């Protein structure tokens, strides 16, 4: 037994200060990694948009979802109950994380208008797409007249397009009068995606 004790004492005397520093550094690294992993797992709950919401539109509960993400810094994230019923200050694309700045009041020069369609639009017409609005002639000899060049589609029928379908579009205020006048025309209105064949 005495021999064992004397060997342990001899081994302890031979431990270098560098060895002790190395052990302390390895233990400190392990603790640091554990802290980083635990904080990364915590995450932050954020509100994201599930579908396109046009500027000026009121956000509904169906437009948003809550996700947990790794905390990526300080952000002015919003709570789900503080978003519903507010107007979007900017266009909100599907998948965007919502922040307070997206709901600041803005002076807009655009209006949202719902228009009936005389013809079913192409399959590319969906929320967020830029379209041209055309007034169709009352007879086949007439030529369609463009009444708005850059309208943004806000909503489309959920059940698909039918002869009685309408779309909601956002247009510059200067185009609203021409669009409303064309709504009453005998030929009706149609929308097309510029450049689409």
Residue 69 — very low, low, confident or very high, per pLDDT cuts 50/70/90? confident
| pLDDT tens-digit series, residues 1-36 | 678 777 767 666 667 777 778 888 898 898 888 887
Fold of 43-103: Type Iii Antifreeze Protein Isoform Hplc 12 (3.90.1210)
Task: Enumerate residues 6+ apart whose C-beta is below 8 A from 110.
Answer: 55, 56, 170, 171, 172, 173
User: Whole-angstrom Cα distance, residue 108 to residue 186?
Assistant: 32
Q: Are 122 and 89 in contact (CB under 8 A)?
A: no
Residue 178, φ and ψ in degrees, nearest 5: -65, -40
User: Whole-angstrom Cα distance, residue 115 to residue 168?
Assistant: 6
| pLDDT tens-digit series, residues 113-138 | 999 988 888 778 888 888 999 998 88
The pTM (predicted TM-score) of the whole model is 0.51
Specify which residues 68 forms β-bridges with.
45
Domain ranges of the chain: 2-41, 43-103, 110-192
Q: Are 138 and 187 in contact (CB under 8 A)?
A: yes
Task: Enumerate residues 6+ apart whose C-beta is below 8 A from 124.
Answer: 193, 196
């Amino acid at each position: 037994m005495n021999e064992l004790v004397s060997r342990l004492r001899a081994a302890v005397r031979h431990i270098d200060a560098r060895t002790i520093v190395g052990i302390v550094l390895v233990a400190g690294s392990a603790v640091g990694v554990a802290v980083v992993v635990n904080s990364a797992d915590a995450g932050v709950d954020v509100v994201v948009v599930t579908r396109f919401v046009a500027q000026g539109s009121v956000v509904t509960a169906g437009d948003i979802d809550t996700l947990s993400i790794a905390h990526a810094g300080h952000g002015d994230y919003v709570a789900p109950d503080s978003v519903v019923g507010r107007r979007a200050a900017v266009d909100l694309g599907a998948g965007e994380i919502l922040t307070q700045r997206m709901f600041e009041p803005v002076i807009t020069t655009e209006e949202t208008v719902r228009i009936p369609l005389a013809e079913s639009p192409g399959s590319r017409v969906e929320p967020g797409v830029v379209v041209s609005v055309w007034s169709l002639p009352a007879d086949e000899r007439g030529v369609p007249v463009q009444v708005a060049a850059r309208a943004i589609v806000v909503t489309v029928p959920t059940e698909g397009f039918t002869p009685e379908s309408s779309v909601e579009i956002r247009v510059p205020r200067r185009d609203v009068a021409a669009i409303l006048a064309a709504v009453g025309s005998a030929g009706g209105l149609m929308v097309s995606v510029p450049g689409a064949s």
